[in-house]
Structure formats: C-alpha cells, structure tokens
Amino acid sequence: MFREILDLLFPPQCAACRRIGSGLCGECVPIRSSAVTRTLDTLDVYSLGEYYGAFRAAILAIKDGRRDVAEALGDRLASIVKKGTVLVPVPTLRSRVWTRGVDAVELLARRAARASNAEVQTALMCRSGIGQRGKTRASRLESRGRFSCDQSMVRDRHITLVDDVCTTGATLEDCAGVIREAGGVVTGALTIAVVLDKRDLARPALSRSRH
C-alpha cells in the first residue's frame, strides 16, 4: 500500500528517457535473451549491452539509489540466467549502501534469481574500504585483495558472478580469484553493461546464448 501511494504521488520515470510509468521502459532497454560477451584473462563476462546510452543512464541511476531501476534491470538480467545457477553478487562498500539505501548489485542478483529459479549466495565481503570509483584505469587494474570469501558457500560449487558493469574487469577477476582460492569453480560473470576493449571488437561476431 505504501509503495502504491508513493507511486501515485511520485510516479516512476524511466531512467533513460524520463517517460512516466516505470523505472526503465521496454523501449529503452527491452527484455531479450541474448548477451554481449567480453573475455577477460580468466573468465567470460556476459552482459545485456554496452555501457553507453540507456544502459549507462540505468547504471548511474542504480548507483544513485534507484531501487525501481535495479528491479527492472534484475528482471532483464534473468533472461540470460540458467535455471539452477548459483549467483554470487559483487559486494558494495557498506558506506555506499548506507548512502544509497540499497545494495543495488545484490538486489539485481536476487531479482534475477527469483525470475529464473536460480540461487543467490552472498559469499563475498569487502576486505578494503577503498572502492574503484574515481580511480584511473591503471589503478583499477592494479587493485587486488579487496575481497574475502565465505568458503562454506562456494566450495565445490559452480559460481556465476554478478555485477552492474564491467569496465576494466579488475573487480570481477579479483572476486573470481578469491572464490577459486576458497574451492569454488567460477563459470563466468553476468553484468548489466560492459565496456568492450579492442580485442573484443576485433573478434568475429560471438554466439549469443543463454548463460
């Protein structure tokens, strides 16, 4: 009831085009079962789209605390999640969760899992209080050891990481490394958006399949 009253007084707007009606409209980011693929050093990343336009606007909105946009993106992410997948969200710094009022990546993962009959394990924790936002590309790539992992949640399990955006890939590689050290098998990563590098752009068209 409270949510309905809020929607009546402050109707949701699409994060990309500002159209009234929902946090993210179907015209700006349609639901689809294909993915853009980027290959990192040790894992493949499957994303709904490239990090510009509507996807960039949506990512910035969830970083500003837009829960409705995160829920809409989670529903779209579900289209490339296989049933029974174990999803592990990349953790957000606690200080940012307090500021934003929501851990958008965990919300993404849980929303996607609910819509696809997958499982979520919050196995990763931030070890360092220093995030990646605002860092140079070189500094991001050098960042290691920022996460710890609950071994009991991942040991001998096949894990798919979840994050909002993949830029350099350093965060996903860091998370994959600690999961492997804890005995888990990382099968890949899912993100809403991705920045493709020259190697990805130079490859022939990649097959798009449900992950």
| φ, ψ dihedrals at 193, nearest 5° | -135, 160
Q: Is pLDDT larger for residue 84 or for residue 208?
A: 84
pLDDT tens digits, one per residue of 124-177: 999 765 554 544 445 444 456 789 999 999 999 999 999 999 999 999 999 999
16 within some domain: no
* CATH number of residue 145's parent domain: 3.40.50
Q: What is the pLDDT of residue 144?
A: 60
pLDDT of 63-72, one tens digit each? 999 999 999 9
Note whether residue 8 is domain-resident: no
Is residue 22 situated within a structural domain?
A: no
Inside any domain, residue 150: yes
What is the total count of domains within the chain?
Answer: 1
Q: What 3-state class would DSSP assign to 80? A: helix
Query: Is 27 a member of any domain?
Result: no
Sign of the Cα pseudo-torsion (106, 110, 113, 119, in order): positive
91 burial level (CB within 10 Å; 0-12, 13-18, 19+): buried
Containing domain of residue 106, as a range? 34-202
Q: Is 49 a domain residue?
A: yes
- The answer to whether residue 209 sits within a structural domain is no
pLDDT in tens, 185-210: 999 999 999 998 766 555 544 444 45
Q: Note the pLDDT tens digit of each residue in 12-27.
A: 899 999 998 889 999 9
What is the 3 state secondary structure string of 151-200? HHHHCCCEEEEEEEEECCCHHHHHHHHHHHHCCCEEEEEEEEEECCCHHH
What region does 98 belong to: left with phi over 0, alpha with psi -120 to 50, or beta?
A: alpha
Answer yes or no: is 180 within a domain: yes
205 alpha carbon, distance to own chain's centre: 23
